[in-house]
Chain A
Amino acid sequence: MKKILQAFALLVALAAAILWLATGANRGWTKTSVPIKTLDAVTGLEGVTYQAKFLPGVDFLGAALGGAALLAGASFFFRKQKQ
């Protein structure tokens, strides 16, 4: 059980870090949509529309790493299985 929890904690931490890095290492808050700017050629105005996109931020990374640390910490409550 101890090793399973530790492996799961490592997996959660790695998955969160890889996802965060792969989506551009956003150092702001997590976003579920991103603004897309469009130019109106006649008026010269720039319009903004929002496209649904998950962009994990530091809160997502922090929560995932915190969760992984809790799992790893919890693993110490389990004794090593005797061979």
Chain B
Amino acid sequence: MKLMHLIPLVTLATAVYAAPESFDFKDPKGINNVAFKLDAPLESVNGSASGITGTVSFDPDSPGAATGKIVVASESLTLPNPMQKEHLHGPTWLDVTKYPEITFEAKSLANAKTDGNVTTADATGSFTLHGVTKEITVPVKFTYLKDKLSARVPNMKGDLLVIRANFTINRADFNIQKGKYEDKVSDEINLSLSIAGAAPQP
């Protein structure tokens, strides 16, 4: 077989056996964030967290097989009111010294639908908050941006993966002031995840 005939075969084999890309969610731009909201009588408690790390394995040819783990540093949770922030970080609420991380480890995706570079799915995995781990299912939206890393980080080639998710948890499920102060702050916590990860290529 001539060398010229081998090239298409090698290309085909590479495409068929293309490994999923590993996206790193450590964000040098400081854009990645998780916004949280709890209803309260005077005004809702709105804050965000920016200390996000983690990796997601994503194959653009098989988006429904994505898995990964996202970690949020509890210490990075911020509120505009200093007293509320102190209470949130303190031992009676999140106890960030004892429980420094909030994690979500996606184990499987269901109902994956892909339209162009956008995939929506229901991700099931382990959510750990305040030392309590529960299996939850959250709707996620992946946007695969091929060769867009250089547009964000000059002199770096690679792809970007944007993940958005919006879901609600109950603080009582995670032993956070269970059954207490529900007249002052809701049991439900709305979480909105907006993150982008990079898969650099040599």
Contacts and interface: CB of A to CB of B under 8 A. Distances in A.
B31 A40 contact: yes
B145 A42 contact: yes
Interface string A27-42: 1111111110010101
Contacts of B116: none
Interface of A: 27-35, 38, 40, 42-50, 55, 57-58
Contacts of A47: 29-33, 50, 194
B145 A43 contact: yes
Nearest to B49: A48
B172 interface: no
Given A40-B29, A58-B42, A45 B194 contact: yes
24 contacts: A29-B81, A31-B81, A32-B80, A32-B81, A32-B82, A33-B80, A34-B80, A35-B46, A35-B48, A40-B152, A42-B145, A42-B151, A43-B145, A43-B160, A43-B196, A45-B31, A45-B196, A47-B30, A47-B31, A48-B35, A48-B48, A50-B80, A55-B80, A57-B81
A35 B83 CA distance: 16
Instruction: Identify which of A27, A43, A48, A50 gathers the most chain B CB atoms within 10 Å of its CB.
Output: A43
Interface residues of B, number: 27
Interface string B146-163: 001001100000001010
Interface in B11-41: 29-33, 35
Given A29-B43, A43-B152, A43-B162, A50 B78 contact: yes
Contacts of A27: 42-43
A29 B145 contact: no
B162 A45 contact: yes
A45 B48 contact: no
